[in-house]
Amino acid sequence: MRFARLPATLEPMTDSSTRIGLVLDCREPETLATFWAAALGYDYLGAVENYALLMPNDGPGPKLLLQKVPEHKVGKNRMHLDIETPYVEAEVTRLLDLGATRAEAAERSEHGMRWVVLADPEGNEFCVCSAGQSDT
């Protein structure tokens, strides 16, 4: 199957200086920063007013900006993070020890992948998934 070339206005980014950053709405950015820094192995660079900034401590990865909002989380996230590892059970245990909770009791599997749905201390869902990797 051949695909038509995209119009110039829809071409993918090619400028290497363009980056992606993630913003997570939350009630207590500084408190949640401690959890996410440990969960992701990121450095917590500090907080200013309504924001707390986390950056990868060694290597590539998007910044994570925690943004204070007045409302509590309601309903399921429309986007979530996946923490990919061949050691799903061990990573779930580590994250539960950091303050995560199970958002779903059972592990899921589909298309050769398996994952566990957790929530951070404010209830934002994220997954710990095998990404097709085996822990054997």
**What's the chain's Rg over C-alpha atoms?**
17
In this structure, are 28 and 83 located in the same domain? no
> How many residues comprise the chain?
136
In this structure, are 54 and 82 located in the same domain? no
In this structure, are 93 and 129 located in the same domain? yes
Percent of the chain with pLDDT over 90: 71
In this structure, are 67 and 30 located in the same domain? yes
36 is a domain residue = yes
Instruction: For residues 64-91, give the mean pLDDT.
Output: 93
- Which CATH number do you get for residue 91? 3.10.180.10
- Burial of 15 (C-beta count, 10 Å sphere; 0-12/13-18/19+): exposed
131 is a domain residue = yes
Instruction: For residues 105-112, give the mean pLDDT.
Output: 92
In this structure, are 68 and 87 located in the same domain? no
pLDDT at 58 over 80: yes
pLDDT at 112 over 60: yes
Residue 61 structural domain: 19-72
| Beta strands across the sheet bearing 63-68 | 21-26, 63-68, 51-56, 42-48
pLDDT, position 38: 97
The total number of structural domains in the chain stands at 2
pLDDT, position 77: 85
Instruction: For residues 24-41, give the mean pLDDT.
Output: 96
